[in-house]
Amino acid sequence: MNAPLAERIRPTILKDYLSQQHLVGPNGSLTTQLKTGMIPSIIFWGPPGTGKTTLANIIANESGRPFYILSAVDSGVAAVREVIEKAKKSDNLFSAKNPILFIDEIHRFSKSQQDSLLGAVEKGWITLIGATTENPSFEVIPALLSRCQVYVLEPFSREDLEALLKKALLHDEILSKKNVTLKETEAIIRLSGGDARKLLNILELVVLSENEENIVITNELVMQKAQKNTVLYDKTGEQHYDIISAFIKSIRGSDPNAAVYWLARMIEGGEDLKFIARRLVILSSEDIGMANPNALLLANSTFQAVTTIGYPEARIILSQCAIYLATSPKSNASYKAIGHAQQLVRQTGDLSVPLSIRNAPTKLMKQLGYGKEYEYAHNYEGNFVPHEFLPEEIKGTTFYKPGNNSKENSLKTYLKQLWKNKYEF
Which of the four pLDDT bands, split at 50, 70 and 90, describes residue 312?
Answer: confident
End residue of a domain, out of 152, 169, 188: 152
Shared-domain flag, residues 217 and 309 = no
CA–CA dist 146, 128 (Å, integer): 12
For residues 6-23, give the mean pLDDT.
Answer: 86
What is the model's pLDDT at position 137? 84
Domain assignment present for residue 142? The answer is yes
333 within some domain: no
Q: Within this chain, do residues 124 and 41 fall inside the same structural domain, yes or no?
A: yes
* Contact by Cβ (8 Å): 288, 325: yes
Same structural domain, 88 and 132: yes
| Number of Cβ atoms within 10 Å of the Cβ of 420 | 9
Domain check: are 245 and 223 in the same one?
no
Q: What is the pLDDT of residues 114-172, one digit of tens each?
A: 888 888 888 888 889 999 988 888 788 888 888 898 999 988 888 889 999 999 988 88
Give me the pLDDT at residue 98, please.
80
Q: Which pLDDT score, from 0 to 100, does residue 49 have?
A: 83
Taking only the tens place, the pLDDT of each residue in 70-84 is 887 777 778 778 888
pLDDT tens-digit profile of 329-357?
Answer: 999 999 999 999 999 998 988 888 888 88
Does residue 299 sit in the same domain as residue 255? yes
Among 90, 119, 152, which residue terminates a domain? 152
> What does the alpha-carbon distance between residue 410 and residue 292 come to, in Å, rounded to a whole number?
12
* Domain containing residue 277: CATH number: 1.20.272.10
- Domains in the chain: how many in total? 3
CATH number at residue 66: 3.40.50.300
CB atoms within 10 A of CB 267: 18
Q: Which domain holds residue 207?
A: 158-229
User: Which SS3 state, helix, strand or coil, does residue 347 take?
Assistant: helix
Residues 184 and 247 in one domain: no
In a shared domain, residues 113 and 213: no
Q: Check: pTM over 0.75? Answer yes or no.
A: no
1 falls within a domain: no
Distances (CA, A) of 121 to 118, 148, 345: 5, 9, 40
Query: Mean of the per-residue pLDDT values for the chain?
Result: 86
Q: What CATH number has the domain bearing residue 206?
A: 1.10.8.60
Flag the least confident range among 64-78, 83-97, 222-236.
222-236
Write down how long the chain is. 425
**26 and 127 share a domain?**
yes
Classify residue 355: in a domain, yes or no: no
201 and 295 inside one domain: no
Cis amide leading into 142 (omega within 30): no
311-331: average pLDDT: 94
Q: Are residues 110 and 165 in the same domain?
A: no
Q: What percent of the chain has pLDDT over 70?
A: 94
The answer to whether residue 346 sits within a structural domain is: no
Last residue of a domain, one of 181, 198, 229: 229
Asked if the structure places residue 282 within a domain, the reply is yes
Same domain, 55 and 117: yes
pLDDT recorded at residue 1 = 45
- What's the whole-number mean pLDDT along residues 378-399? 90
Within-domain flag for 331: no
Contact 265, 243 (CB under 8 A): yes
Rounded Cα distance between 297 and 25, Å, is 46
Considering the domain boundaries, does residue 49 fall inside one?
Answer: yes
